[in-house]
Amino acid sequence: LQDFGLAKIKVWNYWTAEGDLDIGAKNVKLYVNKNLIFEGMLDRGGGEAPADQSFPVGEKQEQDESRE
């Protein structure tokens, strides 16, 4: 097997309907291979159709955003 790097992780917070907007994650720590790559607060879900409301996390975030 070959090692590979992680380019991007997209995170969406939970939502299904307006009554569910208080369900989900708030303070998050994200680890890859025991290495902390993200620690922060997630916005609550918007309750809207799932347009891309995600945000990228990881080491190559700035490079990836310049390509989009």
Q: What is the pLDDT of residue 64?
A: 46
Domain locations along the chain: 9-67
Token couple for 32: 């890859």
- What's the pTM value of the predicted model, to 2 decimals? 0.51
Q: Quick one: which of 14, 24, 4, 9 has its CA closest to 47?
A: 14
SS3 readout for 12-64:
CCCCCCHHHCCCCCCEEEEEECCEEEEEEECCCCCCCCCCCCCEEECCCHHHH
Render each residue's pLDDT in the chain as its tens digit; 68 residues. Answer: 677 777 777 777 666 666 665 667 778 888 888 888 888 887 766 666 555 556 666 655 444 445 44
